[in-house]
């Protein structure tokens, strides 16, 4: 095997190890402490925000070798790519006061409005279909 | 062949102090790992509060998620109604 191929394989192995390490670090988000913010104190009141978190990630590498077109020796090549998505949404604020602890829900009206319009559209078409059916056509 | 590992369940975190209270977070975690790809979904469900007077568990209700599930259910029911309404005349014709 040529030095070029050895180097390429070593590089791919190193990159794969780094990718595995990166994916391993992704799982630190699975710790319960990750969804609760650091306590923020103002006067006698302390506020902690609890959020929903979604993180997804993927990486891949590949390499290959074959004879060169002009028979000058083996030809090698390799490449890699990756992608990911992360999302966080506050769910509730935990308010700690001298009187006690209370949880205030945080509602996302935009998300609800979008889902509501989809549901209304579907219900409108369902109503139309039922009217057609009742008419016997 | 890359191995798929799936983990789901409730997890309790390390307690932390906030004023006179000792707070312990509780979450539900769904994690998937398939080779060099992974997904983690973590959402809070409760907070355990302990203080000099005793201890209590405060549930964290995700109202946005509840509303979304209700609306998605309505959309699915409407979709099913449309499908059945379109299938019924065809059946009548075949009979």
Q: Give the A window 68-87 contacts with B, CB below 8 Å.
A: none
A53 and A43, same structural domain?
A: yes
Q: Given CB atoms, is B59 within the 8 Å cutoff of chain A?
A: yes
| Domain identity same for A68 and A118 | no
Count of structural domains within chain A: 2
* ipTM > 0.90, yes or no: no
| Same domain assignment for residues A56 and A87 | yes
pLDDT of residue B71: 95
Q: Are residues A61 and A118 in the same domain?
A: no
Same domain, A84 and A43: yes
- How high is the pLDDT of residue A132? 81
Q: What's the pLDDT score for residue A81?
A: 83
B-chain residues within 8 Å CB-CB of A30? 7, 11, 29, 31, 40, 42
User: Does residue A30 sit in the same domain as residue A76?
Assistant: yes
Mean pLDDT of the region A62-79: 76
Percent of chain A past pLDDT 70, that is, above it, reads 91
Residue-level pLDDT at B72: 95
Same domain? A116 vs A62: no
**Do residue A123 and residue B85 have CB atoms under 8 angstroms apart?**
no
A137, pLDDT greater than 60: no
Q: Do A54 and B40 touch (CB under 8 A)?
A: yes
Same domain, A83 and A116: no
In this prediction, what percent of chain A has a pLDDT beyond 90?
Answer: 26
Same domain, A112 and A94: no
What average pLDDT is seen over chain A?
82
Q: What is the pLDDT of residue A5?
A: 65
CB-count exposure of residue B9 (10 Å: 0-12, 13-18, 19+) = exposed
Token pair, residue A66, equals 């074959």
- The whole-angstrom distance between B42's CA and the closest CA on chain A is 5
The span from the CA of A94 to the CA of A129, in Å, is 47
User: Which pLDDT value is given to residue B56?
Assistant: 87
Question: Mean pLDDT throughout A1-10?
Answer: 66
Instruction: Check CB contact of B75 with chain A, cutoff 8 Å.
Output: yes
What are the average pLDDT values for consecutive 10-residue runs of chain B, which has 95 residues?
84 85 90 87 91 87 94 93 79 61
My answer on whether A95 and A137 are in the same domain is no
Determine how many CB atoms are found less than 10 A away from the CB of residue B72.
Answer: 13
Q: How far is B51 from chain A (nearest CA, A)?
A: 10
Co-location of A56 and A24 in the same domain: yes
Q: What pLDDT is recorded for position A2?
A: 62
Q: What is the pLDDT of residues A15-57, one digit of tens each?
A: 777 777 777 777 777 777 788 888 888 888 889 999 999 988 8
The confidence score (pLDDT) of residue B92 equals: 60
Residue of B nearest to A16 (CA): B36
Are the beta carbons of B62 and A125 separated by less than 8 Å?
Answer: no
Residue of B1, B73, B11, B2 whose CA lies nearest to B46: B11
Asked if the C-beta of B52 comes within 8 angstroms of chain A's C-beta atoms, the answer is: no
Q: Which domain holds residue A117?
A: 108-137
Residue A133 and residue A80 share a domain: no
């Amino acid at each position: 095997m040529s030095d070029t191929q050895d180097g390429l394989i070593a590089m791919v192995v190193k990159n794969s190890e780094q990718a595995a390490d990166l994916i391993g670090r992704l799982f630190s988000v699975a710790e319960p402490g990750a969804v609760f913010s650091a306590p923020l104190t103002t006067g006698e009141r302390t506020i902690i925000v609890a959020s929903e978190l979604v993180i997804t990630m993927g990486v891949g590498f590949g390499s290959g070798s074959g004879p060169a077109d002009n028979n000058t020796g083996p030809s090698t090549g390799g490449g890699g790519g990756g992608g990911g998505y992360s999302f966080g949404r506050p769910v509730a604020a935990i308010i700690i006061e001298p009187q006690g602890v209370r949880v205030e829900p945080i509602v996302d009206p935009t998300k609800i409005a979008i889902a509501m319009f989809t549901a209304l559209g579907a219900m409108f078409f369902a109503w139309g279909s039922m009217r057609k059916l009742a008419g016997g056509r | 062949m890359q191995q798929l590992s799936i983990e789901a369940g409730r997890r309790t975190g390390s307690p932390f102090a906030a004023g006179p209270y000792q707070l312990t977070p509780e979450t539900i975690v769904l994690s998937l790992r398939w080779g060099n790809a992974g997904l983690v979904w973590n959402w809070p469900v409760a907070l355990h509060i302990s203080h000099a007077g005793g201890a209590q568990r405060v549930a964290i209700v995700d109202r946005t998620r509840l509303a979304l599930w209700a609306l998605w259910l309505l959309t699915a029911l409407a979709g099913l109604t449309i499908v059945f309404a379109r299938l019924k005349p065809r059946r009548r014709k075949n009979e």
